[in-house]
Structure 1
Amino acid sequence: MEKAPVEGQAGGAGASTTWDAFVRTEQNWRRLRDFEGFEYIHGENNYGMPEPMQFVVDDRQKGNPKAWEKLEEQYNSASEIKKQCKTYLDYDVVVCGGTLGIFIAHSLQLKGLKVAVVEAGKLQGREQEWNISMDEMMELVELGVLIESDLDACIKTEFPECRSGFKNKEAPTNGQGYFENGVGFECTTPDVLNLGIAPKVLIENVKNRFLEAGGVVMEKTPINGVMISSSMGASVDINSTNGPITSRLVLDCMGNGSPISRQQRHGKKPDGICCVVGSCAGGFDKETNVMGDIIYTNSEIQDKGKQGMLQYFWEAFPVNIGRDGKEPGTSDVKTTYMFTYLDADKTRPDLISMMEDYWDLLPIYQPSIKDPETDLDIKRVLFAYFPTYKDSPLQPMWDRVLAVGDASGIQSPLSFGGFGALTRHLGRISDGVTEALKYDCLTKEDLGEINQYLPNLSGAWMMQKAMSVRPGQKVDSKFVNRLLATNFECMDEMGIDTIKPFLQDVVRVDGLVGSLAASFKADPFFMPQIVAHVGIPTLATWLGHVGNMGLYTVCDAVVSPVLKGYVQNMENKKDKFYWNRKMEAWKFGSGSDYILPRDKK
């Protein structure tokens, strides 16, 4: 890590790759594990429990007086016309957090809103490529956030397909299933996470167009707090000689470490954690560096003694091999990740322990590497932990403040969130925010309609639970591989309509029920072990989410087409806002928003 280049360090989880950043991450992970969660009820007497940091306040007696003074001055000095038109504040929207916030900021700007982005550091993408699919990038093009030339500029890697595989050891499966070869199952899926894009180029292009169109970007500008007046607006206290800035709405796009989300979730430990370590390095075999791994295992569950049992998963992507299927031999650079699903129990291992396992196990996973220390040219060492919460998306606690992206918990507990989660929901979020401002639906109850319950997101917790082992729990070391190998074999046999949405973080009731039925038929005697592993309460809760997925699917297919025309003609704007959000929730909560490209079937 000391030899790796330090230029291009950016903000956000996994973006800073220095030894100092690793030490800070390790310390934060230790603090989270040592933390004893407690139930804190905002607005009530909590009997001596520690109070949360008051980052967002709606009481005039708290916060920065200058922020309150500017808000009141703008309101009191505005003409009645400006008050009616809601134009007396500095901006319509202030987006807090710019790495991914710049995309939603530009999307809102294209809808005619006046937007500012505030970023604590420099607004730039990391050096490490983001992996995504072309159809997800095209969603941004259709929204106008990207233009075609952005794709040519930022896509540095393109390959045809990615592998999913679950094996008890590193050995060929010979095209057979788990019970035929005694090893496992693997398959490939086209056009999933098969693009490597340069975040630095992409974000710079979007930022420049945002600025050219009149947007404001405040870099190296930490936010000290947010003052909320339900009647007047929001005032954002920033480290700037120009003082606070005001807006009608504040969007929290500061990721899973957001101080706004931390204040709201005060006292609560995450329900799940995904710990990730890895590296980007040269020295791999060029001839075979032409395909990615989405999720892959080649070992049984690791028994770490007092630290619990962990199933390690691998993910890998070739780097900078070019577009349109260049011939093999173009690049020896590859990014490899090793990750595991667990909880934040104090007994869980340090990241350094996982990192040591990563280096020890890498030659088994990548046989062209015999000794990582001598065979690899390390570009970056990667590490992060990603917390997830069951009560997601996060409902607003204040008027005029809405969490988006990872700050809202909208990412699946199976994914690392970030850019992929943003692309899927960007159109929905920007439509909802635009209507909220147009119809003055800015109370916490109104904004909560944008972050509604999504049953397929909540239902994904069952899979996360099945892929992890609770502290003190003992299971068959082959449990996870048997479960996933059987399930993926069934999804693969059902076709790309089933497996591709799942790999792109979209759970749909047809694919879910079909694959589960096929899995039960293929391995009926495994079901009692699954139930015992996840527990009856988890299973019961999950069945409720599956039932709601079915209900949402029917509502989207049958009720929404009937309602749309009626809703658009509603005179009551709040009712119109409400029903538009309800129909969006039916679509996204059932996975019906996902459209498989027909030419890819």
Structure 2
Amino acid sequence: MSQTEQILSQLPGDVLGRLRSADKVWKALRDGTTPIPEVITETEEGLGTLDLDVVICGGTLGILIGAALQQRGWRVAVVERGVLRGRDQEWNISRQELEVFLELDLLSTAELENAIASEYNPARISFFQGPDFLVNDVLNIGVDPVFLLDTLKAKFLAAGGKLFEKTSFTKATIHPDGVSIGLKVNQLEVDPLEVERLKVERLKVDPLEVERLKVDPLEVERLKVDPLEVERLKVERLKVERLKVESSNLEPSTDTNLEPSTDTNLEPSTNTNLQPSTNTNLQPSTNTNLQPSTDTNLQPSTNTNLQPSTDTNLQPVTELKARLLIDAMGHFSPIVKQVRQGQKPEGVCLVVGSCAQGYPKNDMGDLIVSFTPIQNQCQYFWEAFPARDGRTTYLFTYLDANPERPSLEFLCDEYFRLLPEYQGVDLSQLDFKRVLFGFFPSYQKSPLRMPWNRILPIGDSSGGQSPVSFGGFGSMVRHLKRLSNGIHEALDYDLLDRNALAQLQPYQPNIGVTWMFQRTMSVGIKQQLAPNQINQLLTGVFQAMANLGDDVLKPFLQDVVKFSGLSKTLFVTSLTKPGLVVPVIPQVGLTMLLDWMVHYSNLALYSSLYPAGKLLSGMLTTLPPKPRYYYHRWLEAWRYGSGGDY
């Protein structure tokens, strides 16, 4: 039994099976055998009366934009194939990037602070046989996805949004006046771990809350509980009992960004609609044969947050009609697959990692570290940071989708082989809470252009993220204000054709130039490089950026590339380390170099257009809606495409 099999078999749930399911998806991508669905069709028939303005498919990140749009008065529905709940593993981001939640009034200051699960300083950057570089306040905040999504979900529902959980997107038909979205209710596609979580959450409630939830018809009048709340509690109890699913009936998720929680330290529900009674006279019931209480000291609940159930799955819906469909289903969205038509990604980031307890105390983090030369035609990079449940460590590598590339399970074996050397601890000392794995494809022809009206991809579905980053949370947060403003204007001005919507996912030259970085950090499957070539190049580049100061280094570490910082870094590196720069040309190839020069030139152009465009803003406020919409989108493209948003 391999180290991976041994460790994963000790975790609750079929983690090893899910790893191998993800590997099947990765192998199909490498082999070019990924099925191509046909889920989008068009018709010239009118749709007539619409239910909603916007339907967002994919709730994990879709709830961010859903909450923002619902708050602005649009009729929004979010469709999520499972239960809309954040993963147990924290999302890392920089503190200043979280300010957008306050700007859009999605969170209060107190809620934002409660969403922060961990924080550390400094972070280390280091490459094999090179010096350490330390930086503060970069990706050093760990956000609790469970609390964040529960809070946004509650606010979305309170504002009138509709949520369809355990419901899958199946198809959509584009009409001249709207889009019809087909849905399937997943009554049997429930993660067994989610069933157990719901059971445990019922048990781990404050005893006073348990007593309040033990409502039978005879107590309704005495406690004066809202009848709608009583009905909701009955339905919730029935739902928990119905969630008895054979794991053989489950369809493995192809979304490798969302792994099942293996954290056995389940926390109580964060549903803010369930509040404990304020009656201090209540005691936990020890009687399993529930009888009507005769305790006259009991007082009616003072919880004013009780609302009727918002679980729309109680009345299954198989079709929604809206003006706009937003695809937030990620890299492996069926809509994206149809548009890509089996195209292989030019770049892939493979990631494996874990959260464990038992490490020596260490309050520092690692942003990017390597301590080995090239192995298995891969340069291994590592990331580590303190987390609420212990310490999180990742091994990641950049490569292409060649069929000979290694599997995720092989990379897990490498992770467990090298982890003791990386963290200075024996595996036997570690108590693994969860193991994570995934892969993130990147396409040079990005962002993805939809060939249809009324469909907008966002997040990973759009393919607009940097090829050297993994995980879509940071990118989604960075563009949340831009997207919410732009979608609001598109709906307001009824500009929902494909050309108008394409302006919401514009070309960004500062993302385009990062393809060169991805290529210099990877090794072709047949390429022969000096064992330490990548490490030496990165040491030289980061030495130059560190010497130039935080104004250059920090934006780069947050995937915000600026023309001035990039130009200074290239100049200093070429001047001080010419021997490191020359080998890059044969490594990346002439075609890639020429392509990079185009992006670099556009980066310079966008850096000039953005300040010039801002000067015209006062003169263009009287424009008609359509030209005003396009002007705003161009200004945003120049701003974000030049790094002006940092």
TM-score for both structures, normalised by structure 1? 0.83
Counting only pairs closer than 5 Å after superposition, residues 315-354 of structure 1 correspond to structure 2 as 315-320=383-388, 333-354=390-411
After superposition, residues 106-125 of structure 1 pair within 5 angstroms as 106-125=67-86
Deviation at 1:470, TM superposition (A): 1.1
Measured after TM superposition, the shift of residue 36 of structure 1 is 6.6
| Mapped pair 1:159 → 2:120 | yes
Match of 1:382 in 2: 436
1:267 Cα deviation after fit: 2.6
Aligned to 1:26: 23
Q: Does 1:552 align with 2:552?
A: no
> Which stretch shifts more, 483-492 or 17-26?
17-26
Aligned to 2:10: 3
Aligned amino acid, residue 563 of structure 1: L
State the 1:556 CA deviation.
0.6
- Asked if 1:401 is matched to 2:455, the reply is yes
SS in 1 for 2:571: helix
Out of 92, 101, 107, which is 2:53 matched to? 92
- Counterpart of 1:562 in structure 2 is 615
The answer to whether the 8 Å contact 1:186/1:485 transfers is: no
Tell me the CA shift for residue 526 of structure 1: 2.4
Q: Confirm whether residue 283 of structure 1 aligns to residue 358 of structure 2.
A: yes
Give, in whole Å, the separation in 2 of the partners of 1:252 and 1:209: 21
Give the superposition deviation at 1:280: 0.7
1:212 lines up with 2:158 in the alignment: yes
AA at the equivalent of 1:583: L
On the 8 A contact 1:455/1:589 being kept in 2, the answer is yes
**Residue of structure 2 equivalent to 1:528:** 582
**Partner SS state of residue 383, structure 2:** strand
For 1:78-477, list aligned pairs within 5 A: 88-167=49-128, 183-229=129-175, 231-240=176-185, 241-286=316-361, 289-302=362-375, 304=376, 309-320=377-388, 333-367=390-424, 369-370=425-426, 372=427, 374-477=428-531
Whole-Å separation in 1 of the counterparts to 2:172 and 2:606: 36
CA contact (8 A) 1:491 1:498 kept: yes
Segments of 4+ moved more than 6 angstroms: none
> Is there any run of 5+ residues in structure 1 with no aligned partner, and where?
7-16, 38-49, 61-67, 76-87, 168-182, 321-330, 595-601
Does the CA contact (< 8 Å) of 2:614 and 2:635 recur in 1? no
Contact 1:5 1:379 in 2 (8 A): no
Deviations 1:30-62 (A, max 9, x none): 11111179xxxxxxxxxxxx9x421111136xx
Question: Partner residue of 1:45?
Answer: none
* Structure 1 letter corresponding to 2:577: D
Paired with 1:238 and 1:566, the residues of 2 have a C-alpha distance of 46
- Indicate conservation of the 8 Å contact 2:57/2:78, yes or no: yes
2:56 is paired with a residue whose SS is: strand
Task: Supply the distance in 2 between the matched residues of 1:20 and 1:137 (Cα, whole angstroms).
Answer: 35
Identity of paired residues, percent? Answer: 42
- Opposite residue 125 of structure 2, the aligned amino acid is S
Take 1:449 and 1:128, find their aligned partners in 2: how far apart are those partners? 33
1:347 counterpart SS class: coil
Unaligned runs of 5+ in 2: 1-7, 186-315
Does the 8 Å contact 1:412/1:460 carry over to 2?
yes
Is 391-400 or 461-470 further displaced after alignment?
391-400
Larger Rg: 2
Distance 1:579 1:211 in 2: 33
Per-residue Cα deviation, 1:537-579 (whole angstroms, up to 9, x for no partner): 111110110110111011112x2122212322102x2111111
Instruction: Give the CA deviation at 1:452.
Output: 1.4
State the AA in 2 paired with 1:505: D
Q: Which residue of 1 aligns with 2:631?
A: 579
Q: What secondary structure is seen at the aligned counterpart in 2 of 1:255?
A: coil
Name the CA distance, whole Å, in 2 between partners of 1:537 and 1:576.
38
Provide the aligned C-alpha RMSD in A. Answer: 1.5
- The 8 Å contact of residues 366 and 385 in structure 2, kept in 1 or not, is answered as yes
1:29-108 correspondence runs (5 A)? 29-35=26-32, 52-59=36-43, 72=47, 75=48, 88-108=49-69
2:332 partner amino acid: G
Paired with 1:212 and 1:396, the residues of 2 have a C-alpha distance of 32
Residues 395 and 452 in structure 1, CA contact (< 8 A), matched pair in contact too: no
Q: Secondary structure at the match of 2:343?
A: coil
How many residues of Structure 1 are paired with residues of Structure 2 in the alignment?
509
TM-score when scaled to structure 2?
Answer: 0.77
